[in-house]
Structure 1
């Protein structure tokens, strides 16, 4: 119960504004806000980056309290300066407009994909490993990077558990399945879903990121095949063979097949919310909740509960399914979405806001956006500050108008989307599934690189590919 106390405190702060006189939040001009209001947001992100390195045990037990503390450090002063109604309006908007749809979709994909268990074992040859990575890359845009990663990482580890050199297999799995593969739909990666929630059409990214995605994934798959072949044919022969803990099996089986049907229902619901526009909205403390989004989120929750009810226990047991990864994501992102509110207000003010310097970095002398600058600025921050909130920052920096960005600003929106999705692979904290894959691999005995050693892999493998991508597409 103690680990939920901090979030109860946030609820108490918000509850101060429940009186009728605070029902509507004032709309603030971001140009009037100081850059200091961005400190809690920076604090959350720096905590995510630093605490797991310097105090992992403390972070593991208290990450929810830390995120809640930063949220309170924003809400309490904000309410004191601008009024409780304004603070509560910002809180409700962050929760209902972005956080709730985001975490509901992510939790549903995690739950449904976690109910599909691939039984049996194949031999981890370069061809098989490359085929699994290619399959996961394709599935990532259909069932999400989280879903595809949770579905395939354990079969991949079993296939290679008799090999000495496995680290590169997991690293490239993170590059491809947990990141680049999710670039073709809002289901694929959290940043794109946030764009969808802010008005970007469902298939917009499919058409505008297809070529960069194909180029990056083709280069990475070819590089992986060459590297895995080297380890498989040269390095593995240098040591005596040992007993395979999971002998190869010519037959594979799948438990929990009903979840494939549920995944189809998830896709249908997200599509429905983008295509069905009844024009009915509910005003909740100044935040407008569209009927189609409410129906989608309630139906997604029902699908997650249905998956828990109908999935055989053996399927989740075979996947070592537990709630710890999604619990961490849920608590941390609650803090992120609350504290990012003033940052977005300031960015929307453009040159008149406190972050005008950032605006100038991604624009030329005439004020026109520089797509390459947007690609790298979004990407580099996504590498260390998590790609979902980073996408929101630069989406709003570019104007925040989805219709304009999809048309006259299409190349800029493509650069922002590509930077967030592709470069989320640069570090363990760039995208939620990265840490999940790392944790599962380590639980299976793989000695994964440290935070900075993984950065070394990114610099050597990914940065040259991204430089070529910039030259070709941005």
Structure 2
């Protein structure tokens, strides 16, 4: 059963009469107007802030409560936006906003993420190589390159286990996983909308598919090549000088030939790329309304095609198949993402509306902080502001917030304001590596490494790594690209 099917099945628990009422309200909301951000107080942003703080802090402070009830907590924050907003603006206006958010933004987002998750989870690399510094650099570089093709989550899940097996006879492995998080789980996803959720949200807002490749290549090359050079020097030091100080450790997985199970999924990955490219390049001018939301034909065909790819992948490599068992495939991570992002997409509605109001809105101070006295954007401020928030909050909504702070017009941001969009994109993607909670794959990689017996650094010890290595590189990037 797919994640989409599971989500739909949950709706059967609602009374049929309630569903009919909701459908009729959605249909009648077609003429409702958007929220006027100038009329919204700052308190309308509190559910969004509360949700992000819950995501950031509760897994650390109250892990049992969070893991058992995160869906209910997220739903509670969503209702804290919906109910007051309905009282002030009317149920029809709010329902139109919800339907637009779900059908135009959330469903395309979660469908792509689910498809990449399922397809990548059907590819398993068996066998083992000897974890020399040269091989480790190659594996990190390969994973970094794959991240922009199959997403940071997909590439991380594909590459982390082979990397761990290659180094399971070494004593010093912690730094290998830390750099894996820096590169594969974060920086490598900066070149396409498939790579990282923030960039796909930008694509849904109208940013061209190839814009990131054209405008972020230099930034990505600088950061990734710098990290690979630093890693090689560090890993070589550990390999040649520190390992020999310790007793020889028996290799639990001796070197063996590499073989790949689930190869058909590579063809499905190519189909995913083709479908996303199709939706951006083909403009037939055909659209239709669903619950008051205008949906374009090419986007509907893309999403239907992605769901078909997901189903085909499960048919070719079903649950329980050796490839998925080898990857320890589970629906839990994507189910959690689907629930949390449903609440994020809802609670961010008033935040975006207030930001679109510019200096007339309650967040006028944000506009002034990232703009000069003439009202022009300060790209360095956009880079660091989006980056700092992405370090501790989810980088996808952070990207949306600053995308709209900069005006929210994709044409302007790709043209005269290209430097600003590059700053927002780099900050959101790259600085997600600053903490374990900055990007979803970070925690997944940490969990897998600890299951394999690697003593990963604590939350703050990890940040000592990221602050010591990443912050100087980000400062150099500011001088090189965002002055």
Output the CA distance in 1 between the equivalents of 2:204 and 2:132.
41
The residue correspondences of 1:49-448 to structure 2 (distance < 5 A) are 49-249=56-256, 251-311=257-317, 313-448=321-456
CA-based RMSD of the aligned residues comes to 2.0
The 10-residue stretch of structure 1 (271-280 or 229-238) with the greater mean CA deviation from structure 2: 229-238
Deviation (angstroms), 1:303: 0.5
- SS of 1:289's partner is strand
Q: Please tell me whether the aligned partners of residues 108 and 301 of structure 1 are also in contact (alpha carbons under 8 angstroms).
A: yes
Distance 1:10 1:275, change over 3 A: farther
Deviations 1:365-388 (A, max 9, x none): 110000000010111111111111
Deviation (angstroms), 1:34: 0.7
Deviations 1:412-470 (A, max 9, x none): 11111111111111111211211221121122122222222212111111000000000
Identify the residue that residue 470 of structure 1 maps to in structure 2: 478
Output the CA distance in 1 between the equivalents of 2:163 and 2:14.
43
Output the CA distance in 1 between the equivalents of 2:14 and 2:105.
21
- SS of 1:188's partner is coil
Output the CA distance in 1 between the equivalents of 2:12 and 2:356.
29
Q: Please tell me whether the aligned partners of residues 107 and 326 of structure 1 are also in contact (alpha carbons under 8 angstroms).
A: yes
What is the TM-score of this pair, normalised by structure 1? 0.96
Deviation (angstroms), 1:267: 0.4
Output the CA distance in 2 between the equivalents of 1:227 and 1:263.
34
Deviation (angstroms), 1:405: 0.8
Identify the residue that residue 457 of structure 2 maps to in structure 1: 449
* Residue 38 (str. 1) matches residue 45 (str. 2): yes
Deviations 1:195-242 (A, max 9, x none): 111100111110100001100011100011111111111221111113
- SS of 1:254's partner is strand
Deviation (angstroms), 1:17: 6.8
- SS of 2:24's partner is coil
Question: After TM superposition, what 4+ stretches of structure 1 lie above 6 angstroms from structure 2?
Answer: 4-11
Q: Please tell me whether the aligned partners of residues 35 and 350 of structure 2 are also in contact (alpha carbons under 8 angstroms).
A: no
Output the CA distance in 2 between the equivalents of 1:339 and 1:25.
19
Output the CA distance in 1 between the equivalents of 2:204 and 2:305.
17
Deviations 1:68-100 (A, max 9, x none): 110111111111221111111121122112111
- SS of 1:218's partner is helix
Distance 1:18 1:29, change over 3 A: same
Deviation (angstroms), 1:149: 0.9
- SS of 1:446's partner is coil
Output the CA distance in 2 between the equivalents of 1:374 and 1:51.
28
Deviation (angstroms), 1:5: 7.7
- SS of 2:218's partner is helix
What is the TM-score of this pair, normalised by structure 2? 0.94
Deviation (angstroms), 1:319: 0.9
Deviation (angstroms), 1:8: 6.8
Q: Please tell me whether the aligned partners of residues 426 and 462 of structure 1 are also in contact (alpha carbons under 8 angstroms).
A: yes
Q: Please tell me whether the aligned partners of residues 17 and 84 of structure 1 are also in contact (alpha carbons under 8 angstroms).
A: no
Structure 1: gaps (5+ residues): none
Output the CA distance in 2 between the equivalents of 1:375 and 1:164.
37
Identify the residue that residue 18 of structure 1 maps to in structure 2: 24
Deviation (angstroms), 1:165: 1.4
Deviation (angstroms), 1:6: 11
